[in-house]
Structure 1
């Protein structure tokens, strides 16, 4: 083949692509124009339409493929007018429903893009009796080539913009964004549809490039098989040790299995001539089934412990989808059902009454109710605030569920706690009813607590200071900052459910609120001065503005009638006159 012909095959007749998919190209142009106006004109309302215009591209292209396949002899212009206005109507209806219905706007839009993207693959192969995988190969290959060309075009535009900006006139940096959108939404779309195979175009002579065939058969497949062997060794370890699989196993298994399924589809056309590819396609589905079941068991353990969340729901859907397709490839080799089942899985996960958000909300509400009953906060069908005997672990679990409900509330307005038939609009409303507060929240994971490796349990104060349990002492107040207060007669105080801490007139006082006993009352300025005098000469010898010293040099130990305590100075700031003007300390104490 001559160089000219090779270039022609690589760089297609873009006019032909525009004529074949005019509506799709128009929506690519509209997306480009809307992006410019939203950035340069500060039309912020247009930004919300950009993601919906992204849906319009695969949607309109899929409709055009349906026309080619089933309505080829009908009025082409009339059908394309219907396609254009039908796509616009679909966008407006989607905008209306996606924000307040189903699984949340971002998830809904993403799911819609994926569905029409997969439909674009599916429509041409539905009634193809052969060469289905070859057609998919050609589309995937065209996508890779399109991304490469679009990237080169964008880098070229960026180089031109940068050169003009540096050498001639200052240009807006937003031009780089415009270049990117043009390269992908305009050039990329036209280039891609121009390379698509025609409806009845023969694929008999189509073949993967030799280099790609070598990459898949002799690099990727061996790596997949080695990875599979490692997972089976882990499987054997679980059986012999009778130790439950880690939650991460499901992710390790599933993403590699999904990629392996893609490789099965890609190697199908060459199995007649490549024995290694044939072996892989025949036996890998059988080998993968036990591993997928292991992943299902692993995620089921997490769900049993902590309930369903959106991520766990998606993992379960992916497990079921992969299990279905691997069994399908064992029984019958038909790639169209891979795509159909994928669309069906998205419809269930996002747009059904049993979507990932609805199921997760119901699961977490039930989990929260079980926790409250278990810890005596719900008794006889009513909520009480009797929580004196609740363990730290249980408090952490309750707060983790509360945090789940009230994160991203701006997007998912219906994601709220509903206990015993009552809905709580704000987290503080529910926390007040059960007598909870921020001190229930832990910054350590529950998993770590179960392993018994916790040395401290953080309890965040309103002003950022934290009081924790610490080894050797009952409590640790850490990162207590004192800046310019030692001579200012100002007051600094905070409290939690047990203790009140006050710094006033250089005195630091800690009081047990429940017992109404003063646990500690010390002159912080005096102690700081004593520590400073001890380290003064050592610090000056280093002749630096910032001096690092061992912790022992910055530690003060003592006892009072009601407590023993230790103060560790992490920072002491002083002026040239040796006047202390700022401290940062950790205070350890225990009651006697």
Structure 2
């Protein structure tokens, strides 16, 4: 097979650019923004913020422009008239750069994902909005799907090859390629090469697809022997679990929602993949499977509504629960349509899902508006219950039980992290803009010049609200959108308050714990070999030559928890951490000494993180860092 000439390659690129100019422009803008972000290491907040916003907008702009291009091609709209559609669509998509601000509102990340999902779905049917040909619609999306997989494969191979060539050049010629070269290469390949290669495979002769009845045999084999058996396994598990619920009369677990959605995805995908051959005589099993699939979906959808409703009634609506309910309604719509309609139109699946996704982005019915309304009602309800709600405003709590306190603190953090705390302005007398400016201009925040400064500011806002409203002592560690139960663990972070110079008089060696390798071994200067290992929960074993010692770290922190008065006297009030409790203790309280035959060893803990239950008992230690002071006898 002859390789394509340079001239043919250039002509192909020129054809793609002339056919999809707006799409290539958005790809170039997004790639440039990503390179700028990489060059600054995403450390400059202002540059990083705009880089991410431009990348998001470019992604959406490319998808919207491609959808409009496919629509105009299907309608044979050409010349200047074509740009009457393309330019307004590109400007509309580009305007999102002023609305999406993920570093201030985490909810904008979800908004971007929803809009991007809608854009991908729009591409799938934009050329067939008014066309009655289901065959052409299926062939078009099959071609796009295969082209997408091919472009991913080619991009990955190209990146690996070029990255290996760059590494070889650096190794052989000692050539400095820069610390950002590999990341920039990846961005250029995925942003430009991958986009151009994919677009070059988008079908042009749409009417011809209506007469294309070819079907890959491998697709049928994959569906019949992989997807459908997987879906069958899912439904057997779910039906058995549903029977268990009816027998024991217990509410469903949260994980059941994911399993139901997994069954729905496998089942619907398998039916879409074999759709063109469903009428063939030898494939009568497809209609039987489709009918049984949608019948079995009905009790599972009821179980899905029950699982979602259980959590909503207990803990209110968050974005994730909103999406779960939305998907349940969408599955119910598709199931009823598939069981009732005699004329199966598979375009309804992407069209309806696109509409549902767009409805969840903005407006009073959106996931974010409903979530804000639900969570603020929960928060104000707790304050009303505890007599701390006056004239429509939340005031400082005088007394509140632990369960309500934790719930209120978690809800506060959820609102601040996802929507910023201006949402609560209506319920507070203080001007939150002034408070935010004051928090951002503190001496501590002035030292922060990194990507996470907005994250740090959100933490300070949450802390200010907690302290202002009398919730400072309660945990915000468990995410209210990810956990439907009150947290069983309370997390502690304890640090040595005496950082800096270390008094080592009387000792021969000092060894930082971080200097050991993955096996816990290191070679020390002189005639000493050092090994360490963790055996059991909170027991640190070390070996110095032939001597061994055991440090009971769990026992140390357990003793600290037994004296809450002393511990609370060292509590950190301005902790920039999601820990439930954070303390700065003197070195003497964080040191363990052991004597062996030939050595005296002190293990001084610099920082330790662990989980404790609600009875102040240590459950597990998740992180330790310290130094060893060693004296040879």
Q: Give the TM-score normalised by structure 2.
A: 0.67
Which residue matches 2:475?
Answer: 441
Which residue matches 1:528?
Answer: none
| C-alpha spacing 1:208/1:277, structure 2 compared with 1 (3 Å) | same
| Counterpart pick for 1:93 among 77, 92, 95 | 95
Contact 1:385 1:433 in 2 (8 A): yes
Which residue matches 2:214?
Answer: 207
In structure 2, distance between residues paired with 1:577 and 1:110: 59
Which residue matches 1:572?
Answer: 592
Stretches of structure 2 that go unaligned for 5 or more consecutive residues are 4-8, 42-46, 436-460, 504-541, 564-588, 617-633
Contact 1:31 1:185 in 2 (8 A): yes
| C-alpha spacing 1:217/1:429, structure 2 compared with 1 (3 Å) | same
The yes-or-no answer on 1:67 pairing with 2:69 is: no
Alignment of 1:85-484 (within 5 A): 85-86=87-88, 88-99=90-101, 104-126=107-129, 127-131=131-135, 132-168=137-173, 169-197=175-203, 198-273=205-280, 274-332=283-341, 333-378=344-389, 387-388=398-399, 390-408=400-418, 412=420, 414-416=422-424, 418-419=426-427, 426-428=461-463, 430-432=465-467, 434-437=469-472, 439-441=473-475, 464=493
In structure 2, distance between residues paired with 1:29 and 1:552: 58
In structure 1, distance between residues paired with 2:348 and 2:145: 18
Contact 2:316 2:378 in 1 (8 A): yes
| C-alpha spacing 1:381/1:543, structure 2 compared with 1 (3 Å) | same
The alpha-carbon deviation at position 136 of structure 1 amounts to 2.2
The alpha-carbon deviation at position 87 of structure 1 amounts to 5.1
The alpha-carbon deviation at position 179 of structure 1 amounts to 2.8
Secondary structure of 1:367's aligned partner? helix
Which residue matches 1:526?
Answer: none
Secondary structure of 1:201's aligned partner? helix
Which residue matches 1:505?
Answer: none
1:424-452 deviations in Å (ceiling 9; x for gaps) = 66445544554332x222767999x9999
The alpha-carbon deviation at position 259 of structure 1 amounts to 3.7
| C-alpha spacing 1:295/1:450, structure 2 compared with 1 (3 Å) | closer
The alpha-carbon deviation at position 122 of structure 1 amounts to 0.9
Contact 1:268 1:281 in 2 (8 A): no
In structure 2, distance between residues paired with 1:408 and 1:446: 11
Contact 1:483 1:581 in 2 (8 A): no
The alpha-carbon deviation at position 320 of structure 1 amounts to 1.2
Contact 1:154 1:180 in 2 (8 A): yes
Let me know the Cα RMSD of the aligned residues: 4.8
Q: How many residue pairs end up in the alignment? A: 503
Which residue matches 1:547?
Answer: 550
In structure 1, distance between residues paired with 2:28 and 2:558: 68
The alpha-carbon deviation at position 83 of structure 1 amounts to 5.9
1:312-335 deviations in Å (ceiling 9; x for gaps) = 111111111122112222223212
In structure 1, distance between residues paired with 2:32 and 2:556: 66
| C-alpha spacing 1:265/1:321, structure 2 compared with 1 (3 Å) | same
Which residue matches 1:524?
Answer: none
Contact 2:396 2:469 in 1 (8 A): yes
Secondary structure of 1:239's aligned partner? helix
The alpha-carbon deviation at position 68 of structure 1 amounts to 1.1
| C-alpha spacing 1:118/1:577, structure 2 compared with 1 (3 Å) | closer
| C-alpha spacing 1:551/1:326, structure 2 compared with 1 (3 Å) | closer
1:94-150 deviations in Å (ceiling 9; x for gaps) = 222334999943333333322222111112222133303333222222222222222
Which structure is higher in RCO with an 8 Å CA cutoff and minimum separation 6? 2
| C-alpha spacing 1:580/1:85, structure 2 compared with 1 (3 Å) | closer
Contact 1:111 1:350 in 2 (8 A): yes
Secondary structure of 1:406's aligned partner? helix
The alpha-carbon deviation at position 413 of structure 1 amounts to 5.4
| C-alpha spacing 1:542/1:202, structure 2 compared with 1 (3 Å) | closer
Which residue matches 2:452?
Answer: none
Contact 1:392 1:440 in 2 (8 A): yes
The alpha-carbon deviation at position 254 of structure 1 amounts to 1.7
The alpha-carbon deviation at position 238 of structure 1 amounts to 0.2
Q: Name which of structure 1's ranges 212-221 and 393-402 shifts more when overlaid on structure 2.
A: 393-402
| C-alpha spacing 1:181/1:369, structure 2 compared with 1 (3 Å) | same
Contact 1:309 1:364 in 2 (8 A): yes
In structure 2, distance between residues paired with 1:296 and 1:178: 46
Contact 1:573 1:580 in 2 (8 A): yes
Structure number with larger C-alpha Rg = 1
In structure 1, distance between residues paired with 2:17 and 2:276: 30
Q: Name which of structure 1's ranges 414-423 and 191-200 shifts more when overlaid on structure 2.
A: 414-423
| C-alpha spacing 1:571/1:69, structure 2 compared with 1 (3 Å) | same
Q: Give the TM-score normalised by structure 1.
A: 0.71
Alignment of 1:553-592 (within 5 A): 571-573=591-593
The alpha-carbon deviation at position 162 of structure 1 amounts to 2.0
| C-alpha spacing 1:442/1:121, structure 2 compared with 1 (3 Å) | closer
In structure 2, distance between residues paired with 1:67 and 1:453: 54
| C-alpha spacing 1:167/1:391, structure 2 compared with 1 (3 Å) | same
The alpha-carbon deviation at position 13 of structure 1 amounts to 5.9
In structure 1, distance between residues paired with 2:54 and 2:316: 35
The alpha-carbon deviation at position 545 of structure 1 amounts to 7.0
